Amino acid sequence: MYPNDGFRELERQECLRLLAKVPVGRIVHTRQALPAVLPVNFSLDGDGAVLLCTSAASELARAVDGTVVAFEADEVDAVAHSGWSVVVTGAAAVVRDPEEHERLTRTGPRSWAPSPEEVFVRIEPELVTGRELVGGRSLYGVHLSP
């Protein structure tokens, strides 16, 4: 991300392993020409794609379908000044293939508040980046502050 800022860059597999540990991330997209951010629960598909489940009528599904989005998750310890942050950047699309939808109904994320008609949104893991944030005075000399 910012290679000269003193963070430890994480490898793709390490990023995906960390992402799999947390239930909630934040989808970043554009809304009315302004940046928009929304926390959502998610799961990872076998290939590292980020999967969301939302109401078919939701504005989010319409807003991100067919666009490039970023999906971020992190864990930060504000006392130790340590943690990690991972960002998946890629095309987002509502899953329209009936077989794929059926598969995700069995194996994909569950909506925290089920609605009558749900859709899955898939974010392709085209770019997976991450950084480790180890305490400011640690052995590594890396830190959270940008």
Region of residue 116 (left: phi > 0; alpha: psi -120 to 50; beta: else): alpha
Contact between 8 and a second copy (CB under 8 A)?
no
- Report the alpha-carbon distance of residue 85 to residue 72 in Å, rounded: 7
In 23-142, where does DSSP find H-type helix? 59-64, 98-107
- Using alpha carbons, select from 20, 4, 27 the residue that is nearest to residue 84: 20
Number of residues that make up the chain: 146
Residue 16 engages a second copy in binding (rule: CB under 8 A): no
Binding-site member from 15, 16, 19, 85 for a second copy (CB under 8 A): 85
> Is the Cβ–Cβ distance between 36 and 28 less than 8 Å?
yes
Is position 17 an interface residue for a second copy (rule: CB under 8 A)? no
- Residues 24-53 vs a second copy: string with x where CB under 8 A? x-xxxxxx--xxxxxxxx----------xx
Asked if 145 is part of the footprint of a second copy (rule: CB under 8 A), the reply reads: yes
Report the interface residues with a second copy, using CB under 8 A: 1-2, 4-6, 23-24, 26-31, 34-41, 52-55, 57-61, 68-70, 72, 74, 76, 78, 81, 83, 85, 87, 89, 111-114, 127, 133, 136-137, 141-146
